[in-house]
Amino acid sequence: MKPRTYFGLALLFPYILWGICALIVFLLSSQEMSDPWTLVLMPIAFYTLGIVLWLVPYTVLAVGMWIWSRNKSTAALYKLARLAPILLFPLLLIEAVVVSLPAESIAELAKDMLGQAVLLGGFSLVFGYLSVGVALAVFKFLQAKHFIIEETSVSASEAQPGATAYMKIADTQHPHIILFDGICNLCNSSVIFILKHEKTSHFRFASIQSETGKELLKWCRLPTDYNQAVVYIEKGKVHLGSTAALKIGQELTFPWSVLSYAGFIIPKLIRDWVYDKIAQNRYQWFGKGDVCMVPAENLKARFL
């Protein structure tokens, strides 16, 4: 999964949190609660009822954030996530002003708005940063487990020590390298398909289990145990997931190239989700071998 894919899913967290809170309120509404428990559950009930305040403003903000986030770095997405509760406040305030109109006078409107601004500002910050905190905690966990990895473009100064020699391979000698899972039946079949339908013989292949594959993974700043199916190194830029598959497909013959170009019309969130599901279940669905594939004699030069 890519950071932007997760960012899109994280925008749904306030709705998910509301659903959990609403379920808790529903289950406990018929129960007699002691005073301490009533105090504990008050914020949950307040957030549940508060959907009438934040649903429209947050939805507007979420759509805007999703559109803005295209092609943004992980650092930019992280900053935006931390700013989101603050950005939500003026939208809540605008909603409150619209609902309060028409007022008898500007003075009366300003007087009413002062109290509402304090209430809405507190609500936005408390529950906004609660959602952001949960989302960032889940992000760090998935990142630590290598479920979230960012596409990168690696320079000589950024390459890991010992991997500089592989920069020459990836940048100049062979600018189109496909790293694949050598024991995955689906991946091996895909390599054979690419060899059969490529426009020119510029692809080079390396299994992620091989020494060359592991060094190239280091060069890409990916863990050596990375196994999310396919990594495509195109002239020094690292493509992962569905983007890697579609970029490779663009270099194939008709109609696969046309279909691959058309594939980018599908929102990245959706195609990455489909790709990740296939990658996670590829052994179960398609099987795997005990050893890496051995290329035919006439194709050995294509494998690094």
Q: Which helix (H) or strand (E) holds 232?
A: strand 230-234
At 228, the amino acid letter reads Q
Successive 10-residue mean pLDDT values, the chain, 304 residues = 79 84 79 70 73 80 86 80 83 72 54 61 74 81 71 46 47 76 88 89 88 86 80 86 90 88 80 88 87 75 83
What is the C-alpha separation between 139 and 135, in angstroms, rounded? 6
Say how far apart CA 285 and CA 288 lie, in whole Å.
Answer: 9
Per-domain boundaries in the chain: 3-144, 164-302
User: What pLDDT is attached to residue 155?
Assistant: 45
Q: Give the number of other CB atoms < 10 A from CB of residue 126.
A: 13
pLDDT in the model for residue 229: 72
Q: Give dist(CA 41, CA 28) in Å, integer.
A: 9
For residue 223 the two structure tokens come to: 């863990």
Predicted model pTM: 0.52
User: What was the pLDDT predicted at 100?
Assistant: 61
